[in-house]
Amino acid sequence: MRIIVVIHEVVLFLQCVKYDKAIGFPTEDEAVHEGMYLLSSEKLWAVVVFTNIDNSSTTIPNHLVYKIRYFKAYVYVDTKLGNRS
């Protein structure tokens, strides 16, 4: 009986979570354009651009090369970490 209560609570919690956090775009320019719109409503975390994937390809490379674009004013800085190298 207790497991049913736990499952019910989990289901209620998951109803509050939005799953549409990732949106794909064909080009970096389109992603940045949409990102600027989302920034105005404070709904953007970051834009991840995969630089070595061909849009016409049906396979993923063994090693992904990417860059993360974000608005630095929304990212907290932790100066205590310092240089880890």
Domain extent at residue 28: 21-74
Q: Say if 65 falls within a structural domain.
A: yes
The total number of structural domains in the chain stands at 1
Q: Say if 13 falls within a structural domain.
A: no
Q: Say if 7 falls within a structural domain.
A: no
**Contact, 45 vs 30, CB < 8 A?**
no
Report residue 58 CA to chain centroid gap: 22
Residue 44 DSSP code: -
- Sign for the CA dihedral angle at 42, 45, 50, 56 comes to negative
Q: Write the pLDDT tens digit of every residue in 6-57.
A: 888 888 877 776 666 778 888 889 988 888 888 888 777 788 888 888 778 7
Residue 16 DSSP code: T
pTM: 0.57
Q: CA neighbours within 13 Å on the CB side: how many for 22?
A: 3
d(CA 52, CA 64): 7
